[in-house]
Amino acid sequence: MIIAENVSNKNNTRKDFDQNITSEALTTIEESSEMLMAKSTVLFNKNWHKGVIGIVASRCIEHHYRPTIIMTESNGKATGSARSVDGFDLYSAIESCKEHLDQFGGHKHAAGLTLQIDKIPNFSAAFEEAVQKSITEDQLIPKVHIDSYIEIDQITDKFYSILSQMDPFGPANMQPVFAARDLSILGDPLILKEKHLKLTVKNKNGNRKINAIGFGLAEYKTLIKESNNFELAFTIQENHFNGTKSLQLYLKDIRIE
């Protein structure tokens, strides 16, 4: 019992690190016009936890779909985890920048690397150049793979608890993506920070309602309000606000019929 409790506590701590670092990383990207225009993401913060940087890289790709490297400080050097997008050879891009690295290893989809901290700017520039030369526009368009259709009434705390037992999610264990159809909107969709969409939905014949947020999906506000038939693709997350927990849909895509 004590062992199980310790494992649970450590897992909750890891989730907190994951969420906080992901939030910091996304804020850094979104506050930089240069990073928003880039075809790769390379971020370094000496205070980030080494144990979750790979997961954070995957989270960043969910929001900004491009090859991503997240780094932190370890033993006086920068150590990083890299994640790719579908079809792009991440390892080859890193290998082309090897003169800036102490060591690296991995494969087409994921890699790890170590370098001197003062070499990060040169490596970042070289990696961006390598990505620009070899990535195609099609590879920069995210493909949404749906694992299963689901009813909103099925998304309960118990369901999320079972889902969470599959954690941690990453390239070898991707977070399940669900889709829902036959939906109604409750109230008026909101636009956050001029580019994000927030709405509340339910199945037309269902009872349960749930909030959903779509980063970068503000353009769908009018379309979704005027449509009588739309589908949502999403992952399910636990939202923490003012000490209250609630389930929330993180939208991957919207399809207007």
- 60/242: higher pLDDT: 60
Would you say residue 105 has pLDDT above 60? yes
What average pLDDT score do residues 46-54 get?
A: 92
Note the pLDDT tens digit of each residue in 199-239.
999 999 999 999 999 988 889 998 888 887 899 999 999 88
CA distances from 57 to 12, 14, 109, 128, 244 (A): 19, 15, 12, 16, 27
Domains 2-140 and 148-256 share a fold: no
Element (H, E) at 175: none
What average pLDDT score do residues 244-257 get?
A: 90
Would you say residue 5 has pLDDT above 80? no
The residue extents of the domains of the chain are: 2-140, 148-256
Give the CA count within 13 Å in the CB-facing half-sphere of 2. 0
- Structural contact between residues 199 and 190, judged by C-beta atoms closer than 8 angstroms: yes
Would you say residue 16 has pLDDT above 90? no
CATH 3.10.310.30 for domain 2-140: yes
pTM of the model: 0.65
CATH 2.40.50.460 for domain 148-256: yes
Please provide the average confidence, as pLDDT, over all residues in the chain: 89
